[in-house]
Amino acid sequence: MKVKGCFLVIVAFVAIGLLINALMSWRAGSGFRGRVAAIRAAGDPVELSELARSPIPPEDNATTYLNRANTGTTAIANELKDLLSRDDDWRQAPSAAQIKKIDDAFQAYPDVMRQIAKAAACPDNIPNHDFNVSCQQFMSTMTNDVAAQRSVFRILDLQTVRLQAQGKHVDAGETVLQAFQLARHIDREPMIVNYLVSLACRAIAINAANRVLRTSPDLPADWHSRLEEELNRHDDMAAYTWTLKSERAYGIQQFQTMTSGVTGLLVMWHVKSQASDYLDVFDRELRMGTQSWYEVTEDMDALYSVSGLGLGELIKPALRAARDAMNRSRAKLRCLRVLNKLVAERVSASVQPHSALAQLNLPSDAKVDPYNGQSLVLKVRDGNWLIYSVGANTQDDGGVLDSLADVGLGP
């Protein structure tokens, strides 16, 4: 009888525990659903299907032409993978053998550059993702698309090397502009992983432009003006807001899938409460928006301090990495705008750097370091301009760019 009594007591405690968990789980879930409803009411997506945009004519969609170029870009990238994998500065002075290898690869697929040029000239881009699949399926297919995007930009980079070696400096400059136009197109991709890839692709374009500006003589004044107009379009980093909203929608759908149905009542209530914490983190990140590093330093310090293993805590490192990458990109874009003006206005490296920067015909905010709010640093090193930001440590490390202690452009 005592054993039976103990057993009944245990059963009663378990039943009470399950009931309490179910009630608190329902309450936590109800709060989360209310938050999601408010996000949707504000016109923002809360599931993958809501990331899909209305279709546009195929001839206006950059993806149409990138798809046509895909076989060729993949083949060229594979053929030249030994060059693409090198991290030295061979592009500054490629050998005759390297140029011949690049030429042979491009000539084997003559339509690739025509299709890429058409993609760059398109007014819009709608990626061909299937948003009506599970989160796992979506992430799996998106990985392949990411690899294809990088191949396009790496090929554009090699095209500038090839054209410069042939003395076609104006054509090399036009290829640089195409790369930046395409970078704006792929900004329309959803989620943090794609955003980081888009910034990496933009970095390829920035490095190519840096090389062309320093080694291509007498580029037309009109080209310098068009480059400045294009770079100015990138400075607002508006894609970051879309990145956050699409990432949040993915997380919401993932959580709702995990907690749907009758089994959802059995999920521990504190797990469901973490979903609201997750939304809180995104709310705070969205409030910071696309402001520069120095403008939100205190907010970042408060937000990014990880204090546990909850859903909100787990996303913080990815958000910090994305924000840092956004600011690095903005810093390098501004450095490139400065370099473009220095070259266009034929400013001699013998001029006092501080005076040269102050006198450049650029909007004042284009000369501001996004990390500390002060002027970008302009120096002369070995007879060449060195332009940089102090980077995330907000200290001037003398223009150390390789380790990202500082962020900018050198010869």
pLDDT of residue 371: 97
Per-residue pLDDT for 306 more than 80? no
Percent of the chain exceeding pLDDT 70 equals 88
Q: What is the pTM of this model?
A: 0.89
Confidence of residue 6 (pLDDT cuts 50, 70, 90): low
CA contacts within 13 A on the Cβ side of 346: 5
Per-residue pLDDT for 230 more than 80? yes
Residue 127 Rama label (left phi>0; alpha psi -120 to 50; beta): beta
CA distance 353 to 360: 11
Beta strands in 247-310 (DSSP E): none
Q: Give the residue with greater pLDDT, 263 vs 40.
A: 40
Cβ atoms of 78 and 131 within 8 Å: the answer is no
CA gyration radius for the chain? 26
- Collapsed DSSP state (helix, strand, coil) of residue 377: strand
pLDDT of residue 272: 65
pLDDT of residue 261: 55
Per-residue pLDDT for 13 more than 70? no
CA distance 278 to 168: 52
pLDDT of residue 76: 96
Confidence of residue 45 (pLDDT cuts 50, 70, 90): very high
- 70-to-74, 112, 120 alpha-carbon distances in Å: 6, 8, 14
Per-residue pLDDT for 17 more than 70? no
What is the token pair recorded at 358?
């102050």
Per-residue pLDDT for 213 more than 80? yes
CA distance 184 to 178: 10
pLDDT of residue 308: 66
Q: Which helix (H) or strand (E) holds 408?
A: strand 407-409
Question: Pairing relation of β-strands 377-381 and 384-389?
Answer: antiparallel
* pLDDT averaged over every residue in the chain: 88
Cβ atoms of 125 and 194 within 8 Å: the answer is no
Q: Give the residue with greater pLDDT, 142 vs 189.
A: 189
Per-residue pLDDT for 246 more than 80? yes
Average pLDDT estimate for 99-112 = 96
Residue 111 Cα to chain centre, angstroms: 28
Confidence of residue 9 (pLDDT cuts 50, 70, 90): low
pLDDT of residue 29: 55
Report pLDDT digits (tens) over 248-266. 999 999 888 877 655 554 5
Confidence of residue 57 (pLDDT cuts 50, 70, 90): very high
| Measured CA angle at 25 (ends 20, 29), to 5 deg | 155
What is the domain partition of the chain in residue ranges?
2-48+250-323, 59-239
- The full DSSP string for 41-62 is HTT---SGGGGPPPP--GGGBH
Closest CA to 367 of 325, 336, 327, 392: 336
Per-residue pLDDT for 26 more than 50? no
